[in-house]
């Protein structure tokens, strides 16, 4: 029995018969914009796998790239050629074109997901600014712990670090296989908020000297500039914040860590250079 290569109902498809009796119907409103085809009879294992891969890529392109867009259309044109070669029983050439279609899909999906990530980060910055304003409204009750001006600067530098991190990573972050648009946007959205909260916690950790960070000469008094630098690094590098938090008593993950803290050059306990996300 022939296999249906689409999620659309076949009764809505106008059958376009080829000389061998196979069906090939390009996406349309009738097929709910899925590629509809009927493979040849007596498929080989390689041809069966090719059919499955065509259907999977067709559905991914439909979900991620959206029908009737230029990106979706580019992938679908390649898939149509794969189906034609499959019906001609040329699985080898069909597989080669399918790989090209997959690469095109991953390229477009990567681009769209990076835009979603960046959009989420921008939305996160807006929300972080609103939350920071809320902190300022209750800052009088916090004045015994931190001054209003320093609180504003910590939030600003944490936000700057987060923005810098997002802008430097967005062109290299690998999101080509991610199919959850919400998850991608949420990842970008959470970065500024996490940076702001962690920077504030790290300030209290350093101000109470639970953890010491050596910057410059040990005899020099610590200034607020240290807190601004650490706030920026909390937004820029999640690993930096995790290293500080893991040195807090009862805050480690069970592994032994050097309690001396990061050095002036930003070296970690392993002796390497400053680490990034």
Q: Residue 20: which pLDDT band, with cuts at 50, 70 and 90?
A: very low
pLDDT above 80 for 229: yes
* Cα–Cα distances in angstroms (integers) from residue 134 to residues 4, 128, 131, 138, 140, in the given order: 57, 10, 5, 7, 12
Give per-residue pLDDT as tens, 50-96: 999 999 999 999 999 999 999 999 999 999 999 999 999 999 999 99
Average pLDDT, the chain: 79
Query: Are 19 and 84 spatial neighbours (Cβ–Cβ below 8 Å)?
Result: no
Considering the entire predicted model, what is its pTM? 0.72
Q: List the chain domain ranges.
A: 10-89, 141-246
pLDDT single digits (tens) 107-135: 999 999 999 999 999 999 999 888 888 87
Classified as helix, coil or strand, 13 is coil
């Amino acid at each position: 029995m022939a296999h249906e290569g689409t999620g659309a109902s076949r009764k809505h498809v106008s059958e376009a018969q080829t000389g061998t009796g196979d069906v090939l119907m390009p996406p349309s409103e009738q097929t709910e914009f899925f590629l509809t085809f009927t493979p040849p009879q007596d498929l080989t294992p390689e041809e069966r796998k090719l059919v499955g891969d065509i259907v999977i890529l067709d559905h991914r392109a439909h979900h991620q790239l959206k029908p009737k867009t230029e990106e979706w259309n580019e992938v679908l044109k390649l898939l149509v050629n794969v189906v034609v070669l499959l019906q001609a029983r040329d699985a080898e050439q069909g597989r080669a074109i399918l790989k090209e279609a997959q690469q095109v899909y991953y390229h477009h999906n990567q681009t769209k997901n990076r835009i979603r990530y960046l959009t989420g980060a921008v939305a996160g910055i807006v929300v972080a600014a609103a939350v920071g304003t809320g902190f300022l409204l209750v800052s009088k009750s916090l004045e015994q712990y931190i001054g209003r001006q320093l609180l504003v600067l910590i939030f600003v530098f944490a936000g700057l670090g987060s923005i810098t991190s997002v802008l430097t990573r967005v062109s290299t972050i690998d999101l080509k296989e991610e199919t959850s648009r919400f998850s991608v946007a949420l990842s970008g959205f959470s970065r500024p908020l996490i940076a702001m909260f962690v920077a504030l916690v790290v300030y209290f950790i350093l101000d109470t000297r639970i953890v010491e960070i050596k910057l410059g000469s040990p005899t020099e008094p610590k200034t607020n500039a240290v807190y601004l630098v650490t706030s920026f690094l909390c937004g820029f590098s999640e690993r930096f914040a995790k290293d500080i938090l893991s040195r807090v008593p009862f805050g480690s993950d069970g592994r032994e860590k050097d309690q001396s803290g990061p050095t002036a050059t930003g070296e970690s306990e392993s002796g390497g250079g400053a680490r990034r996300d």
